[in-house]
Structure 1
Amino acid sequence: MTLTGERSRAGTQRRARTGRAGWVAVAVWAAGIAAAFAAGWYLRRAGLETEDPLPPLHARARERPLTWQMLPAAAFAAAAVAALPPLAARLPWRAVPLLAWAAAAAWAVALAVSDGRDAVAAPLDAPTEYPAGLAQLRPDPLEWLRTFTERLGGYTTHVRGHPPLPVLVLWALEKAGLGGTGPAAALVIAAGASAAAAIAVTVRCAAGERAARAAVPFLALAPLAVWIATAMDAFFLAVGAWGTALLALAARRAGWRAAVPAGAGGLLLGCLPYLSYGLLPLFAVPLAVLLLTRPRAAALAALGAGLLVVPAAFTALGFWWPDGVRATFDTYLVSRGSAQRPYAYFLLANVAVLGLLTGPATARALPAALRLATRERAASPAAVLACAALAGVLVLDLSGVTRGEVERIWVPFAAWLVVAASLRRPAARPWLAAQAATALAVQALVLSPW
């Protein structure tokens, strides 16, 4: 047998092993999700998990599953499954990120409106959400920021559980004449959906245009769209994704042309710890971009300068981040919420929820992604990005501070993990349809507060 024949046979055997591993991963994905819900039902029946009606989700099962209300979303999904792969492959590149953004936004809204015309903004009307905390900020934002840590116990649930930046963003939106939950919801959805474009740009810079085009349909139709409308964590996703995209763009340039996007990327990335304390592990993704793209010294200097702006500003205005962490953790321990949920259950069930957000196509590709990310000589950049996000999730999960409600908390991480779905070939459309079907099933069966 010739050397070429031996290589061909070895390649065929390797693809067969990878294919079997992918199907095993899908089976584990389905069994893990089923086991998480079954164990949650048992714990709730035994009185050991009383915080969530439908653990591991902070949601409840619908009394009547949605049927005809899902038809617009199902029709959009069918059209998108048919049209997105060829459009992403053939359009000029400059149109591809816009395609990803538009499709992701339309998908999130199509799913949300199945609950009714007002369902898109309704989650932000809850008394536990950020807009409800604006009244305490309005008289004097600077005084509110200086005393944020001292008065933390008197704030709404989500304000109490996060740094002050999310409320300040909504306050700035209000001062611009766009007050109310309607404009806030529009901001969250537009920003969260734009992350599909930002991630596509990053993948193109790190892994090439072909990889980016292959990822776009999966980014646009990801099951996590159920929580893009309307959880504030979708906004966090956008900030991290665009900060990373700007860093990736800077690596392709030199001099001031690199410094400008790197500085802007650093500014956005520096916002992450002030949006949510749990976003620190997300820095694994921009770190992976740095290792993959190796930007020049000017870009690194600008990135460092940009990273310091937001922490310096908040510190100068009276908010000391470590004190915020300590105060939030103290309120977390004495609250009736996450700290009372069983750690062992959520340690595993949180991973099952991550599977719901990323879908079966990602599960199928994960063994290949892990293998491609760890190759010594030729690691796949797209696989490295996905595995960096997975590592961030696992670190946060092990910490024990994310016991439940991770369907929104995982959103900034899960979008990067979806990139792995584009690594497997062939038959992109059936797996894209499986992604859409997962989102439709969750929306039809589960009533989420977000």
Structure 2
Amino acid sequence: MHDGSLLTAERTSSTAPVPVPVVAAGRTPRPVAVAVLAGAGLTVVAAVLAAMRMLPAGSRAGTWRYRYVGWFSWEMLLPFAGGVAAVLALLWLTHRLGTRRERLTVGMWLAAAVPLQLVVRAADEVSLGAIVASDRANSFYSPSLRFGAYEYLTRFADIVHTLPQHARSNMPGKTLLYHLLGVVSTNPAVLGIAITAVSSLGALLVYLLVREVLGDRRVALYALILCLLVPGRLYFLPILNAVSPVPILLALWLFTRYLRAAHWGWAVALGGSLYLVFFFEPLPLVMGLTFAALAALALYRRQLDGFGLLRLVSLTLAAFAAAYLGMRLLFGYDLFVNLAAVLADATDFNERAHRPYDVWVVRNLGDFALCAGFVAVAVLGYATWDAVRRGVLRPIAALTLSGLAVLAFLDLVGINRGETTRLWIFLAVFLMIPVAWVCARSPRVWPFAVVAAAMMLQVATTTPMIAFIRP
């Protein structure tokens, strides 16, 4: 892995970019400590409210709520204790390995990713296999058994009306993922673990993205770990919303690779990955605001010129068009016709379900906090203030502010109304980057450990109490 970082050269410099590590003073900066401890306090309050069955999840006025299904018991904290012990042990091993064994460190965390996530959410009485096999909770598995992959894609327009609700109102990529995983096994329990592993690839992509944009190993590793612990991901595993961050993060990483090297191969791969985003879950495409922010920063810092941008756009569109036409010719599948039908169904559903805009434009923000984690939202608030205070023409500011712009846009446009905790997962994963950056501003590990522990506490106390998923 290289030591450089994207967008770190001065605007007037023509030399190659150099690493710009996060500045760490001798002690934890006071604003960082305040943000972390305030977020931890909010998490404890949320945990107590959940134990009293008073933490809101959804909106009664908005005609969608996740109901409480259990009563608090101290045994629910055992996964929290196990998760904290595992993270602290892995952090100790990370320190022992040192900075020169970066690949080994990353490999260690990735190897621990699935077991760690299963431990943290162990208090949920519903098994991964039961969720995968349930048409009520997850309607993509059963169509993968009824239809072969070729038949499903070539006859999609004909059979879509016979599918269960979620498969009918989504793009075919989610069902085809089950076809792909079915090469290994069709056992629901095995598939649940496989989906957890595929979802964890988003953490690796966040790590690679941070290494490209910020060039800081510590921030990248912290971001990887936090992505594995995002409460919304763990609530909804193995629902495929937990996989939705992967295609858009792949596209964003390929985009930053082109900004660094300007090789045509990265632009072509970007076009193909954007088709995959449409094909699997189009909602994360609003992350285009982050693409635009990074491109604008690259232009300002003269890491990219107008011709390079035009070349990038042209090659990306050409690759996307080739993927679109190839799917039309080989399988008769029209992406845009399918997309229009999905968008129309989503709009119509909000009207039929009587979910008012004015309620959800407020309630969505609460659901985002529940998804990202209350401690993460508190730390993100400090990251935002710091981005504005220090100047927006910095890579971390571009990532933070563009992510918040995506949050504001999706909230105001009013497409997501109800069940939005799971719909925010892709953005919550991305916004772990500024949270990790704030934690890494301290030379001490305790701010990060507190944030990670608070996220695990939220998951351990709410997952068995609230019916986020029930077969």
| Alignment TM-score, normalising by the size of structure 2 | 0.75
Q: What does the per-residue CA deviation read over 1:236-295, in whole Å, with 9 as the maximum and x for residues that have no partner? A: 2122222322332343335xxx33344334322321122123222133334444445556
Contact 2:241 2:422 in 1 (8 A): yes
Residue 324 of structure 1 is aligned with which of 329, 335, 338? 338
Q: CA 1:216/1:152 → structure 2, altered by over 3 Å: closer, same or farther? A: closer
Contact 2:83 2:116 in 1 (8 A): yes
Residue 169 of structure 1 is aligned with which of 168, 173, 177? 177
Cα distance, 1:374 vs structure 2: 4.3
1:268 paired to 2:273: yes
1:45-444 equivalences in 2 (<5 Å): 48=61, 50=63, 52=64, 55=65, 59-65=66-72, 67-68=74-75, 70-81=77-88, 83-84=90-91, 87=94, 90-91=98-99, 92-116=101-125, 119-128=127-136, 129-135=139-145, 137-138=147-148, 141-142=150-151, 144-145=152-153, 147-149=155-157, 151-174=159-182, 176-210=183-217, 211-227=219-235, 229-253=237-261, 258-292=263-297, 294=303, 297=308, 302-316=315-329, 317-332=331-346, 335=349, 339-374=353-388, 379-424=393-438, 425-426=441-442, 427-444=447-464
In structure 1, what is the equivalent of residue 19 of structure 2? none
Cα distance, 1:434 vs structure 2: 1.6
Cα distance, 1:234 vs structure 2: 1.9
Cα distance, 1:333 vs structure 2: 5.4
Contact 2:235 2:463 in 1 (8 A): no
SS of 2:194 mapped into structure 1? helix
CA-based RMSD of the aligned residues comes to 3.8
- Output the CA distance in 1 between the equivalents of 2:82 and 2:390: 44
The structure with more helix, counted as a fraction of residues: 1
- Output the CA distance in 2 between the equivalents of 1:283 and 1:134: 31
In structure 2, what is the equivalent of residue 5 of structure 1? none
Cα distance, 1:157 vs structure 2: 1.4
Deviates more, 1:87-96 or 1:126-135: 87-96
Which residue identity does 1:312 align to in structure 2?
L
Cα distance, 1:94 vs structure 2: 1.9
Cα distance, 1:337 vs structure 2: 9.0
Q: CA 1:190/1:265 → structure 2, altered by over 3 Å: closer, same or farther? A: farther
Which residue identity does 1:384 align to in structure 2?
A
In structure 2, what is the equivalent of residue 7 of structure 1? none
- Output the CA distance in 2 between the equivalents of 1:183 and 1:418: 28
SS of 2:205 mapped into structure 1? helix
Which residue identity does 1:268 align to in structure 2?
S
Q: CA 1:43/1:232 → structure 2, altered by over 3 Å: closer, same or farther? A: closer
- Output the CA distance in 2 between the equivalents of 1:74 and 1:414: 24
Cα distance, 1:412 vs structure 2: 1.2
Which residue identity does 1:365 align to in structure 2?
V
- Output the CA distance in 1 between the equivalents of 2:418 and 2:251: 27
Runs of at least 5 residues in structure 2 that lack an aligned partner in the other structure: 1-24
Contact 1:77 1:107 in 2 (8 A): no
Contact 1:26 1:363 in 2 (8 A): no
Contact 1:207 1:382 in 2 (8 A): yes
| Alignment TM-score, normalising by the size of structure 1 | 0.78
The number of residues matched between the two structures is: 420
Deviates more, 1:78-87 or 1:329-338: 329-338
Q: Using CA pairs below 8 Å that are at least 6 residues apart, which structure has the higher relative contact order?
A: 2
Q: CA 1:108/1:285 → structure 2, altered by over 3 Å: closer, same or farther? A: farther
In structure 1, what is the equivalent of residue 5 of structure 2? none
Q: What does the per-residue CA deviation read over 1:76-95, in whole Å, with 9 as the maximum and x for residues that have no partner? A: 22330454377279342223
Q: CA 1:378/1:391 → structure 2, altered by over 3 Å: closer, same or farther? A: closer
Contact 2:211 2:220 in 1 (8 A): yes
Contact 2:236 2:469 in 1 (8 A): no
SS of 2:243 mapped into structure 1? helix
SS of 1:403 mapped into structure 2? coil
SS of 1:121 mapped into structure 2? helix
- Output the CA distance in 2 between the equivalents of 1:262 and 1:326: 26
Q: What does the per-residue CA deviation read over 1:119-143, in whole Å, with 9 as the maximum and x for residues that have no partner? A: 12221211142112235533x835x
Cα distance, 1:100 vs structure 2: 4.2
- Output the CA distance in 1 between the equivalents of 2:351 and 2:146: 23
SS of 1:168 mapped into structure 2? helix
Cα distance, 1:206 vs structure 2: 0.4
Contact 1:84 1:217 in 2 (8 A): no
Cα distance, 1:71 vs structure 2: 1.9
Deviates more, 1:364-373 or 1:375-384: 375-384
Contact 2:297 2:393 in 1 (8 A): no
Contact 2:83 2:456 in 1 (8 A): no
Which residue identity does 2:436 align to in structure 1?
S
Cα distance, 1:371 vs structure 2: 3.6
Cα distance, 1:101 vs structure 2: 2.8
Cα distance, 1:417 vs structure 2: 0.8
In structure 1, what is the equivalent of residue 18 of structure 2? none
Which residue identity does 2:362 align to in structure 1?
L
